[in-house]
Amino acid sequence: MIYQLMRLDMRLIKPYMKSTMLLLFVAGPLFAIGMKSTAMMVMYIALCAIMSLGYPFTIIEKKNGNLLYGVLPVSKEQAVTGRYLFIIAITVAAALIMVALSLIVLPIIGQAISLGTLLNEALFLIAGILLVAAFQVPLFYKLGFDKAKLWSYLPFGFIALIPILFPSVEAFDFSILLKISPICYVLAAGILLFVSYIISRKVAK
């Protein structure tokens, strides 16, 4: 039954994925080739994945999608579990797409392919998406997508303002963070996602 819920989420977002696919498979590689760096492409992939996580919530809210879920004999807890498995599936798909596109783009821009580097980038991508999902999803369940949308992005605005609000932070060597194994970040993000899942089960309506 949970698998059916995941498939329903996938079907719901399918009509909205055309622009996302264009961003992923056209704009991302073109920017990477033009800038001779895959950094922008990876950012596009992360952005597309994060946007996709919110699609089921906004569709349900705006198009009475709860009627579709209502035909399935599932509990609230099962529905939340299906949504979080959907999140994990989207995250893994984003990492695989990133690796596949990098393998195509890197030779074109004249950069060597390092499987170790690609693995690290994939792990960082997974950790980033899971971290965002861990924060946003309980808000979507509690407030609804439209009301929670602004609040869900506030932390990222705060991060951007840190150098202005706390000038001493500029002296911090952020390269230290890159020396930590990305597996640690994935594990930390996974723990936060599990906490998020517990919260969502309690606040989901």
Tens-digit pLDDT profile for the chain (205 aa)?
A: 566 667 666 776 776 677 777 777 777 888 888 888 888 888 888 888 888 888 888 777 776 655 555 556 667 788 888 889 989 999 999 999 999 999 999 999 988 888 888 999 999 999 999 999 999 999 988 888 778 877 766 666 665 555 565 555 554 455 566 678 889 999 999 999 999 999 999 998 7
Q: How many domains is the chain built from?
A: 1
DSSP 100-140: HHHHHHHHHTT----HHHHHHHHHHHHHHHHHHHHHHHHHH
Tell me the angle at which helices 145-165 and 115-143 cross, rounded to the nearest 10 degrees.
Answer: 120
pLDDT for position 88: 93
pTM of the model: 0.81
Contacts with 42 (C-beta within 8 Å, 6 or more apart), sequence order: 98, 102, 121, 125
Residue 34 pLDDT: 85
Phi, psi of 186 (to 5 degrees): -65, -45
Q: How far apart are CA 54 and CA 174, in angstroms?
A: 30
Domain range for residue 9? 2-203
SS3 90: helix
Who's near 96: CB < 8 A, 6+ residues apart? 122
